[in-house]
Homo-oligomer: A and B are copies of this chain.
Amino acid sequence: MLIGELSERTGVSRRALRYYEEQGLLVPERACNGYRVYSGDAPLIVAQIQGLYAAGLDSDAIRQYLPCARGRTPDLEMCAELRTHLSGRAAELGTQAETLIRQREAILAHLS
């Protein structure tokens, strides 16, 4: 499929899809006229990318993570390292949430 169709099907802008290619996250084939041609599993990959961005990962982390998540490159060491990475990031988010909850409790105290 071409970039317009992928954009419509995923809700991700054409600009963003080109950006993903720039970052090496989702690199499509090229037709003889230079048009980007995406394979059938592209929408799934785009969804994964969006989820990871939304979770606060940056392009570098996602680039390293994606091939492993797709079952490619069964490099056990890399996958283990990435699991550690994700666990650490999740822990960070947990402490951030705790900070906010504490502040909320502080306000509750002020209100009494």
Contact = CB atoms under 8 A, between A and B. Distances in A.
A65 B45 CA distance: 39
A85 to B, nearest CB: 9
A51 interface: yes
Q: Is the interface of A mostly helix, strand, loop or mixed?
A: helix
A110 B68 contact: yes
Sorting the interface of chain A by its residue count into under 10, 10 to 19, 20 to 34 or 35 or more gives 20 to 34
A107 B79 contact: yes
A74 B104 CA distance: 15
A1 interface: no
Closest 6 CB pairs of A and B: A93-B97, A55-B99, A90-B100, A55-B96, A90-B97, A86-B104
Given A54-B99, A55-B97, A76-B111, 18 more contacts: A51-B103, A55-B96, A55-B99, A55-B100, A68-B110, A69-B103, A69-B110, A79-B107, A79-B110, A82-B107, A83-B108, A86-B101, A86-B107, A90-B100, A90-B101, A93-B94, A94-B97, A97-B97
